Amino acid sequence: MSISIEQRRQHRLMTIEKSLAKRHRKENAFRRMGLLAVVTGMTLVAILFISILMRGVPAFWQATFYMDVYFDPEVVQLEPKPERESGESQFAFNERYSQWLTRAGLVNWQTLIDNALEEALGEEVEPRQLRDLRALVTSGERYALRDRFVEDPSLLGQTVELKMLASANVDVWIKGNIDRDLPDARQQLSAQTRTWADQLEEQGVIRNAFSTSLFLNTDSRSSLASAGLAGAFMGSLFMMVVVIGLSVPLGVSSAIYLEEFAPKNRLTDLIEININNLAAVPSIVFGLLGASIFIGYLRLPLSAPLVGGLVLTLMTLPTIIIATRASLRSIPPSIRQAALGIGASRVQTVFHHVLPLALPGILTGSILGVAQALGETAPLLLIGMNAFVANVPGTPLDQSTALPVQIYLWQGNELRNFFEARTSAAIIVLLGLMLSLNALAIWLRKKFETRW
Amino acid sequence: MSNLALIATLLVMMALAYHLGLTRSRAVAAEHDVRMHSRPGYYGVLVALWCGLPALAIFLLWSFLAPQLIDMLVTQQLPADMVAGLSDRELQTLLRRVTALANGQGVAGGGSPEELAAAGHMARLQTIENFSLVALMAVLVVVGLIFARRRISPNWRARNQVERVIMFALAASSAVAIFTTIGIVLSMLGEALRFFSFISPAEFFFGTVWNPRFSTAGSASQGEFGLLPLLWGTMMVSTIALLVAIPVGLMTAIYMAEYAPPWLRNVAKPVIEILAGIPTIVYGFFALIVVGPFLSSAGDLIGINIRTTSALTAGLVMGIMIIPFVSSLSDDIITQVPKSLRDGALGLGATKSETIRQVVLPAALPGIVGAFLLAASRAIGETMIVVLAAGNNPVLHANPFEAVSTITVTIVNQLTGDMDFASPQSLVAFALGLTLFVITLGLNVIALVVVRKYRQQYE
């Protein structure tokens, strides 16, 4: 009898032993799966960032000519810049000045660049090769030359070393972003231009210099190499000003009302559900709202940062309300009770005691909301912010694009070899801005975090 | 006076009124040697409000009504034979020309004598309007200020009144959210109804061909507006996205909540949060430049023809985008499961994974399902990734390696560039938007109800 019990015990122990090994194996497998998921997530982040950085960082440097440009008086046949004479009215002077400007615009500035290139190449270029020669320097530089001269007419007859951007195709060629062995028919540049580019690079005339044009210029269609982000940046800035100015005050006061004062009834319940739903409405729906109400009904101008800002305000409002409410809720009731107990009114309690304590959380939530708005593209496409704009907007009512929309426009450009890198560079700028906003929010949270 | 200067002056006056109220209340207290009902600041604010608010209200009302009034008066004054037979639109154009002339800007072709006369009339009216507005506001400011200042007495309950104004402002701002929803619903419904006057709803909702053609004025051919290919594309891309995001996101959440040592949690959580903060246009570009070509060449290796821009490309990248969304929501929900449940299972000898699979996950299931629904609604409404990487091919087919088109892509395509809301080609965007709104709203409402139920269970 006792043996049988002992045997059964042994048997049971053995089964447990066996199943235990299996269960532990399963445990390990499960844990590894979890780790794998985390590693997958982090790897994806890494791949995304590395691939964007690898493509984008080289675009911050551009092939640039360092050439001596001679402001040849034979080419620049222009009388001295008008000075305002005594007794001359402002109007008459302006008239005279603008006539002078028009004549300055008619000067063939391209010839100066051609001559400088010939000088650098050390050879006489035949007229039929002029086309090939002019493919070297981007077409915007002749206007830059004009502007420089208008600024300082004493350059006449002088030789100055100037930096000039190479054309987009030369940049692609020099950087090796196009297969150098492709047959002539499939190359963007003629054989002659390519030979010259290589020669000039060897001579050190073409160097890879940091591209200030990416930051200082606006978008351009004729001179692709000098297309920059300045206009889009200002557009985004105006929109963010509108978003911060409207959505933060509105969102915070709305959250205060709902969290601290609103009676619990069906109406406030409805508002609450409504806000949670709005937070999950696809952003493009807000774009449709903007197109129909702001553009179609209120007749606000197309492509204006003001309208973009209003649409983004409505979009970020729920985010800010939810973050502010969470922040207010985390303030312990004892604070409120203490204030009420010594005779403060409810408004005083909230504004003098609860709100200051909740401020870090509100700030963090608002920054995150604004960062989200900064990166939003889809609704802006529907209110016409994808128009080509060649000026830096001066007011929120001027036509403009925004940083993410500029990325969208550039990725669609036909000159893929050049704009793939340019777009990645723009993405790096946008991500840099957004990540610094996010980092600021995290830092604020860490610095002011209070545990009650 | 320009509007900006007017508002600035008003603000300065309000600051002055605040100061007057403040000093007056102190003087009254000293004079009668009593305690005032409220602290001096409240009297200051109240006087400032009395001084500023009525003028501000008039200003807003005026800027809304006056231009319409002026337009009406100018139209009446125009010679009858000029106005007769003009459509609304032509009248608008005429008025715009007159307005431009009145503001001293040139118009194309110069102004006709009648237009110049009307412009002169309008300029006079505008001067009168501007003058009377300034005068009215000045009167209101002064009257409000004097009235409020004289009312200051120890028994005047200034604080209560100021607080009532504050409460009103707070309540009004929480109404903005409601108005946004109403605005969305009304604008979409209105434009969608206009669309359905061209195309019958049955044709739209059950049509299997999407071929809107271009909007050419007066052309009889309407094109075909079948929703199904777009809906199908949307579902295909979102399903692929969820197939990527749910396993990875859920396992990440489980690992983070149950296994990860604190240091890993501290590193991995912010990194994955970064993934959530990246703009969708960046994901779209990533899909187009990196993932698409990679999948295409990988397909060549194993002999499948995968297009660079396909449902698979867009779905995969969209999946990456919603991983953090799934993982952080699930993480919150898993950590909310009471410790006692875990301790019970562990005490009975279950291993950790058994506890998770058989106790924690079933307990958290409703919440996790809610998280999945929210993720699905986000995938359906996502725009930029599919615009860039799905290939825009609105045809019904079941091959994920081919290009598709989605509802959101089509909204963007139909509504960019052309802002003429008269053709079915652009109005269809609103019908699509309404469909999208209803679908995501449905998913969100179910998800929120489920999550809320789940929260109550353990509170």
pLDDT digits (tens, 9 = 90+) for A412-427: 888 888 898 999 999 9
B219, pLDDT greater than 60: no
Query: Tell me, what's the pLDDT at B286?
Result: 94
CB atoms within 10 A of CB A72: 15
Judgement on whether residues A178 and A300 belong to the same structural domain of the protein: no
A130 in the same domain as A99: yes
**For A172-191, how does the pLDDT look when each residue is reduced to its tens digit (9 = 90+)?**
888 888 888 888 888 888 88
The pLDDT assigned to A452 comes to 66
In a domain? residue A47? no
For tokens 């009216």, name the residue: B125
Name A207's bridge partners: A64
The domain total for chain A is 2
* One domain, residues A253 and A399: yes
Q: Outline which parts of chain B fall under CATH 1.10.3720.10.
A: 224-457
Given A145, A178, A211, the domain boundary residue is A211
Is there a contact between B320 and A48 if contact means CB atoms under 8 Å apart? yes
Q: Do B411 and A382 touch (CB under 8 A)?
A: yes
Please give the C-alpha separations between residue B414 and each of A377, B382, B421, B427, B428, in angstroms, as whole numbers: 16, 17, 11, 8, 8
The last residue of one of the domains, among A149, A177, A211, is A211
Distance between CA atoms of residues B139 and A170, nearest Å: 69
Query: How far is residue B288's CA from residue B276's CA, in Å, rounded to a whole number?
Result: 19
Q: Is the torsion defined by CA of B78, B81, B84, B86 positive or negative?
A: negative
Minimum-distance CB partner of B288 among A24, A292, A411: A411
Domain identity same for A205 and A245: no
Angle formed at CA B324 by CA A425 and CA A452, multiple of 5 degrees: 110
pLDDT for residue A256: 94
CATH of domain B224-457: 1.10.3720.10
Residue range A308-331, pLDDT digits in tens: 999 999 999 999 999 999 999 999
**Optimal mutation site among B42, B71, B174, B445, interface A, most CBs of chain A within 10 A:** B174
Task: Report the distance separating Cα A400 and Cα A236, nearest Å.
Answer: 9
Question: Are A206 and A244 in a shared domain?
Answer: no
A33 in a structural domain: no
Q: Is the pLDDT of residue A429 over 90?
A: yes
**Six-digit token string for B328:** 């952080």
Verify that A79 and A204 share a domain, yes or no. yes
**Which range has the worst mean pLDDT, A57-61, A117-121, A264-268, B272-276?**
B272-276
Domain ranges, residue A130: 59-211
* Rounded Cα–Cα distance for residues B50 and A224 (Å): 58
CB pairs under 8 A between A and B: 269
In the predicted model, what is the mean pLDDT of residues A344-356? 93
In a domain? residue A39: no
**DSSP assignment letter at A164:** E
Other CB atoms within 10 Å distance of the CB of residue A31: 18
Which pair of tokens denotes residue A57?
């960082």
- Give the span between the Cα atoms of A135 and A192, in whole angstroms: 10
Answer whether B252 sits within 8 Å of A38, measured CB to CB. Answer: yes
What is the mean predicted confidence (pLDDT) over A8-30? Answer: 89
Contacts of A292 in chain B (CB under 8 A): 187-188, 190-191, 421, 430
The two tokens of residue A343 are 């005779």
Look at residue B419 and tell me whether its pLDDT is greater than 80.
Answer: no
The pLDDT-based confidence of B29 (bands split at 50, 70, 90) is confident
* The pLDDT of residue A432: 92
A310 & A431 share domain: yes
Residues of A with CB below 8 A from B248's CB? 37, 40-41
Whether residue B354 and residue A23 make contact (CB cut-off 8 A), yes or no, is yes
Nearest to B350 by CA among B339, B362, B358: B358
* Separation CA A229–CA A392 (nearest Å): 9
Residue for token digits 């000898």? B349
Question: Residue A78 CA to chain centroid, in angstroms?
Answer: 42
A223: in domain: no
Beta bridge partners of A68: A161
Same domain, A345 and A432: yes
How far apart are the CA of B139 and the nearest CA of chain A, in angstroms?
30
Nearest partner of A354 among A375, A336, A366, A373, judged by Cα: A336
Contact A230, A215 (CB under 8 A): yes
d(CA B335, CA B322): 20
Which residues in chain B touch residue A386, judged by CB atoms under 8 angstroms apart? 416
Are A440 and A367 a contacting pair, CB within 8 Å?
yes
**Rounded to a whole number, what is the distance in Å from the CA of B420 to chain A's nearest CA?**
9
Q: Is the pTM of this model over 0.90?
A: no
Token code pair at residue B332: 């919150």
Contact B381 A281 (CB under 8 A): yes
Q: What is the CATH number of the domain that holds A438?
A: 1.10.3720.10
CA neighbor of B295 nearest in space, from B410, B408, B409, B403: B403
Query: Tokens 């109240």, residue?
Result: B46
CA distances from A235 to A303, A307, A384, B164, B338 (A): 10, 11, 13, 39, 49
* Preferred mutation among A270, A289, A325, A348 to probe B, highest tally of B CBs within 10 A: A289
Q: Same domain, yes or no, for A150 and A276? A: no
Rg from Cα positions in chain B = 32
Q: Given A211, A242, A266, which residue is the final one in a domain?
A: A211
**One domain for residues A109 and A188:** yes
Task: Mutate one of B264, B267, B285, B380 to test the A interface: name it (highest A CB count within 10 A).
Answer: B285
The token pair at B19 is 């100061």
A381 and A320 within one domain: yes
Residue A93 has pLDDT above 90, yes or no: no
Taking residue A126's Cβ as centre, other Cβ atoms within 10 Å add up to: 9
Regarding whether A269 and A191 lie in a shared domain, the answer is no
pLDDT range class, residue A53, cuts 50, 70, 90: very high
Three-class DSSP category at B153: coil
